[in-house]
Amino acid sequence: MTSTMLGRSLKSLHQIGAIGTLGSFGACIVLLATAPTTSLVAFAAVMQGIASISKWLLVPSLAIVLISGLLAIAANDAYKSAAWAWVKALLGIGTFEGTLLTVGSSARHAAELSALAVSGRGDPAQLAQVLRTEWGGLWILAALAFINIALAVWRPRLYSRSTQSSGLGI
């Protein structure tokens, strides 16, 4: 595979992963914002939906973004010396960790607590705390994802040793 083909493949994977990541964040935010509060059964179903989005779409999409971005840095000398690429890498790693710790675990925990509430054994105060954590975490992580996209589009010099750009846009 030629270098150009590798770069285009990594760029495509990176963009597809970014679309899945932002779509997942958006879907989870919309579900949380519109979750029915009058029916515990319906609320528990929404929480299970958020947990499923996190497990099957958000985490894999973010892993694709992170891995393809790190591979692009490794494969491209211009990225190795571009500070913006390393800022993106650090933000990507932080976003991935934050997603696993905040959104992923909070979504599972909220789904479990809401299922307990349906059976009459749950603590609404504990569920409210988990939802605040998940709500805040989603917005912070979505903002970090947008910052990463802005860095890819803007590509600030940030004291880069090289002013050359490869044009791959990762």
Report the b/e string of 2-25 with b at 16+ CB within 10 A.
eeeeebeebbebbbebbebbbebb
Given the structure tokens 């692009």, which residue do they identify? 72
Encode the chain (170 residues) as per-residue pLDDT tens digits: 577 888 889 999 999 999 999 999 999 999 989 988 788 788 888 888 988 999 999 999 999 999 999 999 999 888 888 888 999 999 999 999 988 888 778 778 888 888 888 888 877 777 777 788 888 888 999 999 889 888 888 877 655 454 445 555 55
What tokens does 33 get? 């914002």
What tokens does 162 get? 């090289």
What does the alpha-carbon distance between residue 51 and residue 47 come to, in Å, rounded to a whole number?
A: 6
Q: What is the distance in angstroms between the CA of the first residue and the CA of the last residue of the chain?
A: 19
What does the alpha-carbon distance between residue 23 and residue 1 come to, in Å, rounded to a whole number?
A: 31
Residue 45: what pLDDT?
A: 86
DSSP string of 61-80? HHHHHHHHHHHHHHH-HHHH
Q: What amino acid is encoded at 38 in this protein? A: T
Burial class (CB in 10 A: 0-12, 13-18, 19+), 123: exposed
Q: Is the pTM of this model over 0.75?
A: yes
What tokens does 27 get? 């879907």
